[in-house]
Structure 1
Amino acid sequence: MDFYTVVLKQSVGYWVALCLENGIVGQGTIQEDAISKLKEAIESFENLYESESNIYKSPVSIDELHEFLFIEEQEQNSEIYELRKVYA
């Protein structure tokens, strides 16, 4: 089980969890659902990454993180963000 850094963002009616180490996302109606979906996606990705030689793995760049956090800013006046550590 590895440690991952996750940014949670509340968007219209749902939460999105972004893993900073590999750019994988999960989404759910509550934070726990988004993190659970993210953990499932990370586990699936790690299994595939170990078995395939042509899979690309890279941390999220500052530009990608900025886009994730602020892309909907013009449409919404209030955003909620949270940074968490998760084990998957």
Structure 2
Amino acid sequence: MTHREFVTVDIVTDGVAVLTLTNPPLNLTTLHTLDRLLEECGRLSADRTVRALVITGAGDRAFCAGSDIKEFASWSAPKKWSSLK
């Protein structure tokens, strides 16, 4: 299954990274989005040139209105998320 990228990261200036949720109009999170957020935050935290992170949402309706409820039936937290408790 291919996934559309719902997370983009750009280094803007002076060590500020901008991570954008790109699933308009409501930027709902999916399991794939959560995986990508975890991956990108880990990568950015290891990058010594990044000093600050701004998280934003694409579009003009919502930053993030929650999870995509269509995925709830198959939802089970991957082991890598268990360390985030």
TM tier, smaller:
0.3 to 0.5
Higher percent of residues as strand: 1
Q: Which protein, 1 or 2, shows the higher relative CO under an 8 Å CA cutoff with sep ≥ 6? A: 1
TM (normalized to structure 2)?
Answer: 0.36
